[in-house]
Amino acid sequence: MAEQRSDVISWDEFFMRVAFAAKLRSKDPNTQVGACIADTDHRILSVGYNGTPHAITDEAFPWGDSDDPLNDKHSYVIHAEANAILNFRGSLKDMQGATVYVTLFPCHECAKLLVQAGVGEVVYLDDKYAGTMDNLISKRTLDSCGVTYRKVQMPHGLS
């Protein structure tokens, strides 16, 4: 009888790899973010990454930081989590209690969107803005709304 495989990746690893693949599509030179939303039956509901509104071309887009909001990328980028919610083609009731896998801890604006979309859990890879005001607001929002969050374990790595 064939031996059973012992190195099968977990659901957490699988969905985080999907989120990681999504972030590879991002044109942001500084921070690429991917998000994958999976339901409680381990089905992928949607995927997104941080990018421009569809009619704005990469060439026309200011991909840098600037004190001038007109020339600052943050004024224009749609966040990975927002794109994942917008890309979802099903009914929002199917997203109740879903888990979002994100390569970067969600900002406070995304935290609000995820709560309102019904997501019940956030699993993140990196929390590089931990301790910033935005990050504290995000965590307070999630805590207040009963959305749990945890850092993913990737025993097989990401390659």
DSSP-derived secondary structure letter, 74: G
By the 8 A CB rule, do 78 and 55 touch?
Answer: no
Pick from ligand LAUPNLSC, Zn ion, none: which does 31 bind, CB < 5 to 8 A by kind? ligand LAUPNLSC
Q: How far apart are CA 75 and CA 62, in angstroms?
A: 10
**Is 36 annotated among the ligand-binding residues?**
no
Identity of the residue, 13 or 19, whose beta carbon is nearer to Zn ion in the bound complex: 19
**Is 108 annotated among the ligand-binding residues?**
no
Site for ligand LAUPNLSC in 41-100 (CB under 6 A): 50, 77, 79-81
Amino acid at 115: V
Question: Which x/- pattern, by CB under 6 A, does the window 11-50 give for ligand LAUPNLSC?
Answer: -----------------x-xx-x----------------x
Strand partners, 121: 99, 148
Strand partners, 50: none
139 binds Zn ion (CB under 5 A): no
DSSP-derived secondary structure letter, 20: H
Pairing state between β 44-49 and 34-38 = antiparallel
**81 is annotated as an active-site residue:** yes
> Residue 69: exposed, middle, or buried by beta-carbon count in 10 A (0-12, 13-18, 19+)?
exposed
Identity of the residue, 8 or 114, whose beta carbon is nearer to ligand LAUPNLSC in the bound complex: 114
Question: Which positions are annotated as active-site residues?
Answer: 81
Task: Return residues touching Zn ion (CB under 5 A).
Answer: 79, 107, 109-110
Task: Return residues touching ligand LAUPNLSC (CB under 6 A).
Answer: 28, 30-31, 33, 50, 77, 79-81, 104, 106-107, 110
